[in-house]
Amino acid sequence: MLRTIRCLALALAVFAVTDLPAQAQTPSPTPPPCADAAHRQFDFWVGNWDVTGPKGEKTIGRSRVESRLGDCVIHEHWFGGGGTIGESFNIYNATTGNWEQYWVDNGGNRLHLVGGLVDGRMVLEGKHDKPDADSGLFGRERIAWTPNADGTVRQLWESSKDDGKTWAVSFDGLYHKAVTPVP
């Protein structure tokens, strides 16, 4: 009987030693869902901003842009000098490989834009839901954000009434880091 106990003890010891490496291995932690480089392409816009005309003249608005929801959403809060208040939600769609922006404001307006990084600029474009009643052509909106070496960001918004054949500037603003926090 003693011999049986010794054999059993030896077998358990061998089993414990051979199973030890498997027990000691821990799975690698899963990286956060939005940690890759593609999700970080628009981070240059994150911050508190005073927005002026393109040459740095008169302030035309303020903007607070935050990385939210586990760094998966770039959320803008816009406060225009003329009373417009708006918010945009910007996400990288890993399925399509595109960035998307959903803009809404206190005038009941909304905008959906799609695009991505082009030569260091974030360029997003969208088409109006219905064609112009007179021309039958769709209107388009295109917005480009360009990070500048001095830490400012230029936002150039262009609109087309002829389905993208010609473009006119709708907004040209220069985002400067705000000295005081934006609400």
Sorted by where each starts, the structural domains of the chain and their CATH numbers stand as 38-177 (2.40.128.20)
3-state SS string over the chain? CHHHHHHHHHHHHHHHHHHHHHHHCCCCCCCCCCCCHHHHCCHHHCEEEEEECCCCCCEEEEEEEEEECCCCEEEEEEEECCCCEEEEEEEEECCCCEEEEEEEECCCCEEEEEEEEECCEEEEEEECCCCCCCCCCCCEEEEEEEECCCCCEEEEEEEECCCCCCCEEEEEEEEEECCCCCC
Report whether 127 contacts 114 (CB < 8 A): no
Q: Mean pLDDT lowest for which of 17-21, 22-26, 87-91, 148-152?
A: 17-21
Predicted confidence (pLDDT) per residue in 130-178, tens digit: 998 989 999 999 999 999 999 999 999 999 999 999 999 999 999 999 9
Predicted confidence (pLDDT) per residue in 76-103, tens digit: 999 999 999 999 999 999 999 999 999 9
Region label for 164, one of left (φ > 0), alpha (ψ between -120 and 50) or beta (otherwise): left
On the question of pLDDT at 116 being above 90, the answer is yes
Q: If you average pLDDT over residues 60-71, what whole number do you get?
A: 97
Region label for 151, one of left (φ > 0), alpha (ψ between -120 and 50) or beta (otherwise): left
Opening angle at CA 119, ends 174 and 40, nearest 5: 75
pTM: predicted TM-score of the whole model, two decimal places: 0.82
Residue 6 has a pLDDT of 53
64 forms bridges with which residues in the sheet?
A: 48, 77
Residue 15 has a pLDDT of 46
- For residues 12 and 89, the model is more confident at 89
Mean pLDDT across the chain: 89
Instruction: Please state, in angstroms and rounded to a whole number, the distance separating the CA atoms of residues 81 and 51.
Output: 10
